[in-house]
Amino acid sequence: MSDLEVLRALLDADRWIDRVTSQRDHLPEAAELHEVEDQLRTLASRSRALEADRKPTRDRFNEAADKASTLRHRRDDVEVRLANATGSPRDLVAMQGELEHLNKALSEAEDREVELLLELEPLDEVAQEITAQAQPLVQRRHALQSSLSELRDSLQEEINHLQSSREAAAATVPEGLRRRYEQALKRSGVSGAALLDGGRCDGCRVSLSPLDQDRWRAAPDEFLPCPHCGRLLLPC
């Protein structure tokens, strides 16, 4: 193979590697995953803020419910004692008084319990809404994570395969040329050569001056570098 052919093969191999690497690094699934994770983070922070709002009300509700339950037990006790009472009329009146007092306190405690329950209701609804929004997002995240990992694995396999063909192509380039190619690749990235297409380097997409084009044309075997990006210029 001619120098031009081996350089061209190496250029093509490097461009393929770049294309597949860029595909692996810019998968649309990754962008969507990023978006889904952002939405989940927003929901989690809304949920934490809501929990902070809910906690004091819930604590007061539990307190009111405990108080109502204690009063209910005491009232039931007094009712039983009253039903079985054999004491003096004065004791009976006292017990009757205690019962009235307990009933009044119980009714107040139950009102408070209902009041706090009504306060909690809209907050609970918001919490349910957040959960309902988060559930499909969590599923989507899982699906995206597994398809991303599969896609990345298969693209990586392709890259590895391309790398070994690239090494084989590089081995066929005469040493001096190969060194120039590798240096240009290191400096400019993607490939160490480019095509001169209509007076323009297709690596950096900058046009060469007429003088540089003449110079390049006059020495076809030297593969003079692009004066802008330094890649060895090959005929198109």
Instruction: For residues 23 and 21, give the distance between their C-alpha atoms in angstroms, rounded to a whole number.
Output: 5
Shortest distance (Å) from residue 187 CB to Zn ion: 11
Nearest residue (CB) to Zn ion, 95 versus 204: 204
| 3 state DSSP class of 29 | helix
Q: Under a CB-based contact definition with an 8 Å cutoff, are residues 151 and 29 in contact? A: yes
Q: Is 228 near Zn ion (CB under 5 A)?
A: yes
Q: Select from 4, 40, 117, 204 the one that contacts Zn ion (CB under 5 A).
A: 204
* No. of helices (H) and no. of strands (E), the chain: 5, 3
Enumerate residues 164-203 that contact Zn ion by CB under 5 A: 201, 203
Shortest distance (Å) from residue 3 CB to Zn ion: 19
Nearest residue (CB) to Zn ion, 113 versus 212: 212
Enumerate residues 55-114 that contact Zn ion by CB under 5 A: none
- C-alpha dist (Å) from residue 200 to 84, 108, 189: 110, 88, 18
Q: Is 226 near Zn ion (CB under 5 A)?
A: yes
Token pair, residue 41, equals: 């983070």
Nearest residue (CB) to Zn ion, 73 versus 187: 187
Nearest residue (CB) to Zn ion, 15 versus 228: 228
Instruction: For residues 107 and 129, give the distance between their C-alpha atoms in angstroms, rounded to a whole number.
Output: 33
The count of residues interacting with Zn ion (CB under 5 A) is 6
Q: What is the CA radius of gyration of the chain?
A: 40
Instruction: For residues 183 and 231, give the distance between their C-alpha atoms in angstroms, rounded to a whole number.
Output: 9
Shortest distance (Å) from residue 188 CB to Zn ion: 7
Interaction site with Zn ion (CB under 5 A): 201, 203-204, 226, 228-229
